Chains A and B, each alone.
Chain A
Amino acid sequence: NAGVTQTPKFQVLKTGQSMTLQCAQDMNHNSMYWYRQDPGMGLRLIYYSASEGTTDKGEVPNGYNVSRLNKREFSLRLESAAPSQTSVYFCASYYGPAGVITQETQYFGPGTRLLVL
């Protein structure tokens, strides 16, 4: 099992450019998440998908869109990148069926380091 994979690992964008961050999990998890990590801020939730076909906003959704392509894949899109979106982006997945808390934990991908100039 590869767990949670993210592509790309690094990306440099110019202000106004668009890009999509890809995330895939092979653990048959129901829920998937996108977080951003900024220095001294911990991780903050951007969007999440509790099950295939559903997405919801997290704490910091502005400037982002997401797509739950299927059960395995959850992508994050920056339509017009801004310097404030320079960050490390983490994707995570969680077994929990919608509305049920289990003893499982969230598993994280290796992160995508994004620099917007």
Chain B
Amino acid sequence: GIQVEQSPPDLILQEGANSTLRCNFSDSVNNLQWFHQNPWGQLINLFYIPSGTKQNGRLSATTVATERYSLLYISSSQTTDSGVYFCAVAMRNSGYSTLTFGKGTMLLVSP
């Protein structure tokens, strides 16, 4: 099956710093999503981005499908950004959007 690798596995930032999280995937995809899991365990969808660039406030994401990677940018980080960030993909021949998740990047933003 498709492989999804996220880096770095852990990241510690001071409030106000910027960061870039990376997701590499091993095959062509027709669905790529970024999720944030907060410290209480809730999974929140951040972006649906199989290709191109999107922005939502301090967060933005870029997927270069031809090179099989996606980047999540967090600017001016806040303590509420802490948690685990997951990248999840579905292969091009998957008709039912069954997602394969990476292992996540654990982010801690300190005051």
Using a CB–CB distance below 8 Å, which chain A residues touch chain B? 31, 33, 35, 40-45, 48, 50, 56, 58-59, 88, 90, 94, 96, 98-101, 103-108, 110-111, 113
Chain A residue nearest to B1 in the complex (CB): A59
A62 to B48, CA, bound (A): 30
Which residues in B have their C-beta under 8 angstroms from that of A96?
96-97
Q: How far is the CA of A103 from the CA of B97 in the complex (A)?
A: 11
Chain B residues near A45 (CB, 8 Å)? 98-100
Nearest Cβ on chain B to A97's Cβ, whole angstroms: 10
Interface of A is mostly: loop
Task: List 24 A-B residue pairs with CB atoms under 8 Å apart, sorted by A's residue number.
Answer: A31-B96, A31-B97, A33-B98, A33-B99, A35-B101, A40-B103, A41-B103, A42-B102, A42-B103, A42-B104, A43-B88, A43-B99, A45-B98, A45-B100, A50-B95, A56-B96, A58-B98, A101-B30, A101-B31, A101-B90, A106-B88, A106-B99, A108-B42, A113-B41
Given A42-B101, A42-B102, A43-B101, residue A48 in contact with residue B96 (CB < 8 A): yes
Cα of A110 to Cα of B97 in the assembled complex, Å: 20
What is the total number of residues of chain B having a CB less than 8 Å from a CB of chain A? 25
In the assembled complex, the Cα of A44 lies from the Cα of B48 at a distance in Å of: 19
Q: Per a CB cutoff under 8 Å, which of A40, A48, A106 touches B45?
A: A106
Q: How far is the CA of A77 from the CA of B85 in the complex (A)?
A: 29
Q: Are A101 and B1 in contact (CB under 8 A)?
A: no
CB 8 Å contact bits of B40-64 with A (1 = contact, 0 = none): 0111110010000000000000000
The DSSP consensus for interface residues of chain B is: strand
CA–CA, A42 and B35, complex, Å: 11
Q: Is B86 among interface residues, defined by CB-CB distance under 8 A?
A: yes
Residue of A nearest to B99 (CB): A106
Say yes or no: A50 contacts B101, CB within 8 Å: no
How many whole Å from B97's CB to the nearest CB in chain A? 5
Q: Which of B35, B42, B48, B95 is in CB contact (< 8 Å) with A100?
A: B95
In the complex, the answer to whether A94 meets B1 with C-beta atoms within 8 Å is: no
B82 interfacial by beta-carbon distance below 8 Å? no
Given known A41-B103, A43-B86, A101-B31, contact A108–B98 (CB-CB < 8 A): no
